Amino acid sequence: GDHWESHPAGDELVVCLTGSVTVTREVDGVFDQVVLGPGEATVNPAGVWHAVDMEGPASLLSVTATLGTDHRPRSGTRPAGD
């Protein structure tokens, strides 16, 4: 995607349905990447800035159990403004 996002009030489940996606998370300046293939999933904890990149054609399902999402434009590898 073209933005970072965070869900302050709840975790987010991300499931790769087809193709391949990379989920990048940033916690206290440390970056973590998880590559998902079809049927694989990860959880983005509440309040953690994250971004998703697709490795070619892909589809995913994301479920956030609470309302509220913060967005920031992507600039390089860090959330803008942090």
User: SS3 string of 27-72?
Assistant: ECCEEEEEEECCCCEEEECCCCEEEEEECCCCEEEEEECCCCCEEE
**Strand order in 12-18's β-sheet?**
41-44, 12-18, 59-64
Highest mean pLDDT among 32-36, 60-64, 70-74: 32-36
What confidence category does residue 81 fall into, taking pLDDT thresholds of 50, 70 and 90? very low
Kindly report the CATH number that applies to the domain delimited by 3-64. Answer: 2.60.120.10
pTM score: 0.80
Specify the pLDDT at position 79. Answer: 45
